Chains A and B, each alone.
Chain A
């Protein structure tokens, strides 16, 4: 533009804020048009790399989707959300787990409605109800479907807690799908939801209880309670009322309330939980 440039003295005065306003404005006007003068501004390299690293992370870090933002608003810590939302990203495992869990739910719904197989089969299905989906999820994130299982399996997070978190992710989505189906075609959809609720309860409940107890103890306690409850109900009542006791609307509401309470405990005690997460 012209042969006037900003010398070191002027630049120093500008940076220290010692210039008259009009001179400072002149310096800025010139800088905007003159690359050599722009680059003569000294930059602290530590500041530069620090500033850049934030840009870098923002550009590359996984974008927070609507589910992510919802979970964040619920108060779940960032790394847990990352784990839950990454669960569907492992596509084959996710597909296998969801299909199996939904298949189990539909089979249960059909079995219990039609009454095929009699009381013994119905009871054994009930006993296994909360466990089967977790087993299915655990299997789907194992060697055949999950190509990275060897890396995942040798991290400190590997173990029952990881399986339960993934199970919550899978069962939560499967329940939403079943509920949607229930709204669209009344009938088996709602029954499938009902069958998945105890499983969700077991997962969240175990994780919540694990904030106070060791995880195996927590799982055994809840499993034992479920077993005792189902067996007691089958002793007390026979036939149709038995199902309505364990699976009826009242029981369902109870499960739902318990699952919500467990989730609340998980969120409230998250610090405590993270310390013992994978021990």
Chain B
């Protein structure tokens, strides 16, 4: 295992972490903690919960870096999926945060991670999707965001938003119908 440096790729860092190199974990943390924090903060107003979710993320990465090799995901997307799931389980209640094994939150299946292409489809500036999303009511839009952008399941999205799973399902259906109407 060659030594890692600032120039190492994310995938190399993850391989080094799987081999037990703390230095690689530090580099990965310093590289990704900033944007993960900015993005998580838009989903949770409590900075302590966000900080804890980031910490949990990298502890989970330390334990499960070997599982990354089995996925074909992009490292950043993989990290995001872990982070947002850690946030969901932190919001479920601080008492359960450490008890639920972080391993359960590490995606084995690359398909649960939203691909870059899908995200582009979600719409950059141009096109009708942007204005349509803006016109959606906030609770419907947040569900679209949690499922399509964040890659959460409906159940996890419901936990993130603090609503019952059934409500989330109906709202998501309504959101899709509404989007279709707006785009028509």
**Are chains A and B touching directly in their complex (CB below 8 angstroms)?**
yes
B77 cross-chain contacts in A, Cβ below 8 A: 32
* Cβ–Cβ contact A4 & B116, under 8 A: no
B173 located at the interface, meaning its Cβ lies under 8 Å from any Cβ of chain A in the complex: no
A20 cross-chain contacts in B, Cβ below 8 A: 130, 134
* Cβ–Cβ contact B125 & A51, under 8 A: no
Q: Which of A51-69 contact B (CB under 8 A)?
A: 51-52, 54-56, 58-60
A58 cross-chain contacts in B, Cβ below 8 A: 55, 59
Q: Which of B81-140 contact A (CB under 8 A)?
A: 116, 119-120, 122-125, 129-134, 138
B49 cross-chain contacts in A, Cβ below 8 A: none
* Cβ–Cβ contact A32 & B116, under 8 A: yes
How far apart sit A26 and B134, CA to CA, in the bound complex (Å)? 12
A33 cross-chain contacts in B, Cβ below 8 A: 74, 76, 116, 119-120
Chain B facing A: main interface SS: helix
* Cβ–Cβ contact A17 & B35, under 8 A: no
Contact of B33 among A1, A28, A48 (CB under 8 A): A48
* Cβ–Cβ contact B59 & A29, under 8 A: no
Chain A facing B: main interface SS: helix
Contact of B134 among A22, A54, A55 (CB under 8 A): A22
Closest residue of B by beta carbon distance from A26:
B124
* Cβ–Cβ contact A25 & B25, under 8 A: no
Number of chain A interface residues as a range: 20 to 34
A26 cross-chain contacts in B, Cβ below 8 A: 122-125, 130
| Residues in A lying within 8 Å of B, measured CB to CB | 1, 4, 14-15, 17, 20-26, 28-33, 35, 38-39, 41-43, 47-48, 51-52, 54-56, 58-60
| 19 CB < 8 A contacts A-B | A1-B116, A4-B124, A20-B134, A21-B141, A26-B122, A28-B39, A28-B42, A29-B116, A32-B119, A33-B120, A38-B34, A48-B30, A51-B54, A51-B55, A52-B29, A55-B55, A56-B26, A59-B22, A60-B22
6 closest Cβ pairs, A-B complex: A43-B34, A29-B119, A22-B130, A33-B116, A22-B133, A38-B35
